[in-house]
Amino acid sequence: MKTTILINCPDQSGIICSVTGFIQAKGGNVIYLDQHVDKQANIFFMRLETDFNGSDQFSATTFKEEFLSSIAAPYKMECEIYIDTVVPKMALFVSKYNHCLYDILSRYKSGELHVEIPFIISNHEDLRYIANQFDIPFYHIPISKENKSAAEDEQLKLLKEHQVDFFVLARYMQIVSEKIISHYPNKIINIHHSFLPAFAGAKPYHAAFKRGVKIIGATSHYVTEALDAGPIIEQDVATVSHSHSIKDFIAKGRDLEKIVLSRAVKLHLQRKTMVYNNKTVIFA
Amino acid sequence: MKTTILINCPDQSGIICSVTGFIQAKGGNVIYLDQHVDKQANIFFMRLETDFNGSDQFSATTFKEEFLSSIAAPYKMECEIYIDTVVPKMALFVSKYNHCLYDILSRYKSGELHVEIPFIISNHEDLRYIANQFDIPFYHIPISKENKSAAEDEQLKLLKEHQVDFFVLARYMQIVSEKIISHYPNKIINIHHSFLPAFAGAKPYHAAFKRGVKIIGATSHYVTEALDAGPIIEQDVATVSHSHSIKDFIAKGRDLEKIVLSRAVKLHLQRKTMVYNNKTVIFA
Amino acid sequence: MKTTILINCPDQSGIICSVTGFIQAKGGNVIYLDQHVDKQANIFFMRLETDFNGSDQFSATTFKEEFLSSIAAPYKMECEIYIDTVVPKMALFVSKYNHCLYDILSRYKSGELHVEIPFIISNHEDLRYIANQFDIPFYHIPISKENKSAAEDEQLKLLKEHQVDFFVLARYMQIVSEKIISHYPNKIINIHHSFLPAFAGAKPYHAAFKRGVKIIGATSHYVTEALDAGPIIEQDVATVSHSHSIKDFIAKGRDLEKIVLSRAVKLHLQRKTMVYNNKTVIFA
Amino acid sequence: MKTTILINCPDQSGIICSVTGFIQAKGGNVIYLDQHVDKQANIFFMRLETDFNGSDQFSATTFKEEFLSSIAAPYKMECEIYIDTVVPKMALFVSKYNHCLYDILSRYKSGELHVEIPFIISNHEDLRYIANQFDIPFYHIPISKENKSAAEDEQLKLLKEHQVDFFVLARYMQIVSEKIISHYPNKIINIHHSFLPAFAGAKPYHAAFKRGVKIIGATSHYVTEALDAGPIIEQDVATVSHSHSIKDFIAKGRDLEKIVLSRAVKLHLQRKTMVYNNKTVIFA
């Protein structure tokens, strides 16, 4: 059985030795270890992949309990332990743009993403045909100024009923309010169509065109209450020139957006992301 | 004799035919032509390289006069005509960072830049040794709040005396005031150590580190009165991660800065840049 | 009505003026012009987009005839004239990998590609489900050493019956023989999963891994008889490290392949590619 | 006192715990750890930075001896232990191109490289002026077919006399023979002006131009007997188009070459490179 362990705690001497020694004592083998120390914040971060295959008596529950009491508690660790036989559940939120949805669903269908997709939510009917193409349940929950709170209740109900672990705003053109965010801290992945922090907010390609930039970008980040200001997971860029119109920016941007979002989703699924101080540690 | 002609005018039918026909009639051959139409602004832009080698009677002065009256005037063109035997004069402004200065001077010394460098101005003594290494006159003009206006007068005097065509702020850590800018519109090239418009102003690497970006950049632009907001000539980026400290950002950034600035200087020297609406057209 | 004109001919003085003058005389407006001279080969290339909207008497057939006799013939031009109301027909060849197929079909379905897709051919049944998802006819034509010639006859028959203009090998794992290539010179677009000319032939990711490269690539090119040696349309790369397995190379490569192939298809559709001396001119 | 430890050995359970435990027992603190397992080759790699500042009794010699007997021997490790107060000695070999030399020397002069440069060797006199600019001894050792062996003896003598740790071929246009390589295994850094393995050997830009590639590259690698086939340290690329001449390729390439070579030199100096199976592990 494989487990992935994510740790952070105040930095001090001896952590790596203690953790790896504990795993070894329990019959596990460390097959990957990456660590990082933020020297300004004095925080230690570590990600381990361990293999207990040789250990036929391994109980994930027992291991977790013992790890928490013997290691995590004395070092004041926050830690997460994932068992790779548990498949996470990911919901998708979309509006009218289809490129990110198509990209995620085709990867999903190809077995590229180790995930279940219980449903797609949209405030528009436009992309139902894609949900149908891929046999994923599609819930149309219209949103207006007046019904926003009720609509979000409906969204929350679906998320809870299906025990969704995290969800992805795949060019969802509504602002998700604190009511939902508070239930899913660092569990909502957004794609913003600019190289943040440049051009936060609406119409970034128009703003980039007006400014005359020579490079455009896309940014995937965890959603926080501050608009387009959450911890950045992944960014990428493409060159543009005076010869490109806003329409060209948008077309080039589509390719960036879908690739950057899918990379972020994969990193999240592989448990390679940790968040602190509104920043991420992204393990290799 | 080779000439480079830069044109912009209100867009209308027939411009290319008229211009190329005129050049041909004068015994010239168009060896390069690139044009662009900004459809929003309805402006036509064109860059031509022409060769009058076969035409032994060619007079640059006569050609210019005739071009202005026969072509530029009726089409309401702004145009610039450069003769490639005239070597432009470029001054350098620096403070304490040496990487951009070293990069420009080593290219200059290698014959990579078709330019004269009459002098280097600095508000500090630190880099005089490099000027000495490369045998370029170095003027130390200290700047304080109190003497800024007088110091700029001194700078202007040098620029005028040496008939400088344009100058480069090679990590010059002072704001150039309107007094100077007004004499050199689109003739002052700056390098800013961020991917503008993100992180304009001071300490961009610190700001980028704090924001947790995954990509840093550098931007070369013409200097206008609005700080770090002039027309962008060239940008480039490099990836960073949580494992990089601010010091690492700065070290990575140095390589970006010097390459981006040198590319911008080359584009300017090759007459491949045109400015309008606070943006640039960069010809291929 | 909009037309796109592609020209190449021996370089000489006066071509641009003659062509633009002719178009203007016929009531057309040049809305885009890009030209290139290969000085080694002494060949002139030009791409024009023209608009005859103001000219209600415009006949494409008449224009073509007159252009050929008045302009193309005296300059010894090869030229192609495309009317933008004619939608080209593109077939797709696939085997078992689905990422390029999904990418092209989702762009097609979104209206991103100005093209008709009459059918998909595959030597395997595996991807029929995707053809079904997108309602495109799917022909399964198995290929073995023994039946290859007959199978290609069947492919040719389909291509001819549907009047296919060009076709795309979207990770089609068979070598297309001269019998087919000779009917579609510079009309077959392949994606090779390496940065050509490095790692031509089979298993490029394995070869790249073995060599320990730090960057992998993908290359889209026109198919010629020389394997993986046709004119390159588009290339892109991604960084890798020692920490990536061959499986990681392949996963990273999938994203490169689909983006690079789609860019090449778009360039072809926009008539921005010209081929000569086994190289391409790619207009902006 | 800071030390950097590089380890490789057959993979087995418990290595990380043993090594970190040993360091801790000796009063050291692990301030950085990165490890990698090549699963095909079953080799474990690790790089540690350790700090013995708190430990006033620390003796590097004693530590090394104890580490070798207590840890390295039982695990059959190859290991290297570097003390950061020891400044390595790097020689430079050049011919006629100056861009890499200028780039390295200006970084050196700026304090960017933690290294001593005892001398520059060249088979031509052309770049002596740069050695003079930077006050570095310059040895002109001409090389012809006839005198090659004697010339290399002279080179070796200089390398040995100055106790050079490693040296850099900064566009040195001679093949270094086994006689020298055998004394400096994985200690000679070359820059090749192509994206290896494409275009190995002479005139890679000409070959790239002929092939019509859309991206060019540069590769820095350790020199082995097989020409341009040694372990790759660093690569980077730049886009080109049909509009670029061979001269443009060369100019673009110069910037790539100098940046890629300097990155490789830095990685080597930071002890972030390990070589095995003709490949490198490059630590973060």
Cα distance between residue A279 and residue B210, in whole Å? 8
Distance CA(B238)–CA(B253), nearest Å, equals 8
pLDDT at C61: 87
Number of neighbouring beta carbons within 10 Å of residue D274: 23
Helix (H, G, I), strand (E, B) or coil at D128: helix
Catalytic residue selected from D228, D236, D248, D255:
D228
Q: Residue type at D184?
A: Y
Q: If you measure CA to CA, which chain A residue comes closest to D48?
A: A35
For chain A, how big is the Rg over CA atoms in Å? 21
- How far out from the chain centre does Cα A231 lie? 10
Structure tokens at A129: 């045909």
| Contact between residue D188 and residue D169 where contact means Cβ atoms under 8 Å apart | yes
Cα-to-chain-centroid distance, residue A55: 32
B175 touches chain C (CB under 8 A): no
Q: What is the mean pLDDT of chain A?
A: 95
| Structure token pair of residue A190 | 């957004």
Mean pLDDT of D49-58: 77
CB B100 within 8 A of CB B261: yes
The span from the CA of C118 to the CA of C89, in Å, is 7
Average pLDDT score, chain D: 95
Collapsing DSSP states into helix, strand and coil, what is residue D180?
A: helix
**Residue C273 β-bridge partners:** C282
Q: Does the pLDDT of residue A189 top 80, yes or no?
A: yes
Q: Parallel, antiparallel, or unpaired for β D138-140 and B166-169? A: unpaired
Mean pLDDT of C203-228: 97
Contact A257, A99 (CB under 8 A): yes
- Taking only the tens place, the pLDDT of each residue in B161-199 is 999 999 999 999 999 999 999 999 999 999 999 999 999
Is B234 an 8 Å CB contact of chain D?
no
- Residue C216: the pLDDT is 97
Contacts of D154 (CB under 8 A, 6+ apart): D141
Supply the CATH classification number for the domain D2-83: 3.30.70.260
pLDDT for the residue C60: 82
Quickly state the pLDDT bin for B55 (edges 50, 70, 90): low
Q: What is the pLDDT of residues D61-111, one digit of tens each?
A: 899 999 999 999 999 999 999 998 999 999 999 999 999 999 999 999 999
* Residue tagged 């025990």 (tokens): A163
| Per-residue model confidence (pLDDT) at position A58 | 74
- Closest C-chain CA to D284: C241
The predicted-structure confidence for C120-174, as pLDDT tens digits, reads as follows: 999 999 999 999 999 999 999 999 999 999 999 999 999 999 999 999 999 999 9
D201: which 2 tokens?
């050997």
Among candidates D17, D31, D37 on the partner chain, residue whose Cβ is nearest the Cβ of A21 = D17
Tell me, rounded to whole angstroms, the distance of Cα D148 from its chain centroid. Answer: 24
- List residues bridging with C237 in a β-sheet: C217
Q: Interior CA angle at C280 toward C275 and C283, to 5°?
A: 105
Q: Which of A256, B284, A248 is nearest to C283 (CA)?
A: B284
Q: Shortest Cα distance from B60 to chain A (angstroms)? A: 30
**Of C24, C32, C37, which is closest to B17 when you measure between CB atoms?**
C24
Is the pLDDT assigned to residue B53 strictly greater than 80? no
Q: How far apart are CA C281 and CA C36, in angstroms?
A: 8
pLDDT tens-digit map of A70-114: 999 999 999 999 998 999 999 999 999 999 999 999 999 999 999
Most B-contacting residue of D47, D98, D126, D269 (CB-CB within 10 A), to test interface: D98
- For chain A, the chains sharing at least 3 beta-carbon pairs closer than 8 angstroms are B, C, D
Rg (CA), chain B: 21
Residue D174 structure tokens: 């001679």
Return the higher-pLDDT residue of A52 and A248.
A248
CA distance A144 to C236: 43
Q: What pLDDT was estimated at residue B40?
A: 87
D243 part of contact set with chain A, CB < 8 Å: no
ipTM: 0.95
* Tens-digit pLDDT profile for residues C197-212: 999 999 999 999 999 9
Distance of CA D102 to the CA centre of its chain: 18
As a whole number of angstroms, the distance between CA C213 and CA D231 comes to 9
- Among D243, D255, D256, D283, most B C-beta atoms within 10 A, so best to mutate, is D255
B262 lies within 8 A of chain D by CB: yes
Gap between the Cα atoms of C20 and C32, Å rounded: 11
Burial of A60 (0-12, 13-18, 19+ CB in 10 A): middle
Cα–Cα distance between B147 and D83 in angstroms, integer? Answer: 49
Count A/D contacts: CB-CB distance under 8 Å. 39
Give buried/exposed letters for A85-103 (b at 16+ CB in 10 A, else e).
eeebbbbbbbbebbbbbbb
Interface test with C, best of A134, A255, A260, A261 (most C CBs within 10 A): A255
Which CA distances in Å does D250 have to A159, B282, C230, D204? 57, 21, 24, 10
Fold of B90-282: Rossmann fold (3.40.50)
**Residues in C touching D282 (Cβ below 8 Å):** 214, 241-242
> Scanning the structure block, which residue is given the tokens 């019904």?
A147
Residue C67 has pLDDT above 90, yes or no: yes
Rounded-to-integer distance, Cα A97 and Cα A99, Å:
6
**B200 interface with A at CB cutoff 8 Å:** no
Helices and strands (H, E) in chain C, number of each type: 9, 13
Domains of chain B, by residue range, sit at 2-83, 90-282
Identify the band that residue C238 occupies on the pLDDT scale cut at 50, 70 and 90. Answer: very high
What pLDDT sits at residue C55? 59
Residue B75 CB coordination number (10 Å): 19
d(CA C140, CA C154): 10
Q: For an interface test with A, give the residue of C106, C129, C260, C263 to mutate (most A CBs within 10 A).
A: C106
* Helix, strand, coil in percent for chain C, rounding step 5: 35, 30, 40
Q: How far is CA D126 from the centre of its chain?
A: 25
Report pLDDT for A181. Answer: 98
Give chain B's mean pLDDT: 95
Query: Which 86-115 residues of chain C touch chain A by CB within 8 A?
Result: 98-99, 102-103, 106-107, 109-110, 112
Q: Which residue in D106, D243, D262 is closest to B102 by CB distance? A: D106
The mean of the pLDDT values for chain C is 95
Q: Which amino acid is at A38?
A: D
d(CA A33, CA D20): 13
| Chains near C (3 or more Cβ pairs under 8 Å) | A, B, D
Contact across the interface for A280 and B212, Cβ inside 8 Å: yes
pLDDT tens across A134-184, in order?
Answer: 999 999 999 999 999 999 999 999 999 999 999 999 999 999 999 999 999
Tell me if the bond preceding B185 is cis, omega within 30° of 0: no
Find the mean pLDDT for residues B25-48.
Answer: 92
Smallest Cα–Cα separation from B218: which of B174, B264, B272?
A: B264
Residue C57 confidence (pLDDT) above 90 = no
Alpha helices in chain B, H assignment, sequence order: 15-25, 60-67, 99-109, 128-133, 148-161, 178-181, 204-211, 246-269
Q: Could A213 and B234 be called an inter-chain contact, meaning their C-beta atoms sit closer than 8 Å?
A: no
Partners of B168 in the beta sheet?
B92, B189
* Residue D55 in this model has a pLDDT that exceeds 80: no
For residue B183, the model assigns a pLDDT of 97
Query: Which chain B residues contact residue C20 at CB under 8 A?
Result: 14, 16-17, 20
Spot the catalytic one: B228, B236, B248, B255: B228
Evaluate if residue D6 carries a pLDDT over 70: yes
d(CA A179, CA A148) in angstroms, rounded, equals 11
pLDDT bin (cut points 50, 70, 90) of residue D213 is very high
d(CA B133, CA D130): 9
D228 catalytically annotated: yes
Nearest to C24 among B13, B32, B37 (CB): B13
| C30/B16 Cβ within 8 A | yes
Residue A173 contacts residue A127 (beta carbons within 8 Å)? no
Q: For D25-34, what is each residue's pLDDT tens digit? A: 998 989 899 9
Query: D250 falls in which pLDDT band (50, 70, 90)?
Result: very high
pLDDT at D57: 67
* Close Cβ partners of D231 (under 8 Å, ≥ 6 residues apart): C212, D186, D221, D222, D224, D275, D278, D279, D280
Q: Which residues of A touch D34 (CB under 8 A)?
A: 34-35
Kindly determine whether residue C16 and residue B32, on different chains, have CB atoms separated by under 8 Å.
Answer: no
> What is the structure's pLDDT at D13?
87
- Give me the mean pLDDT over the D44-54 stretch: 90
CB contact under 8 A, D30 and A13: yes
pLDDT average, residue stretch C45-73: 87
Asked if C106 and A112 come within 8 Å (Cβ–Cβ), the reply is: no
Contact A67, A79 (CB under 8 A): yes
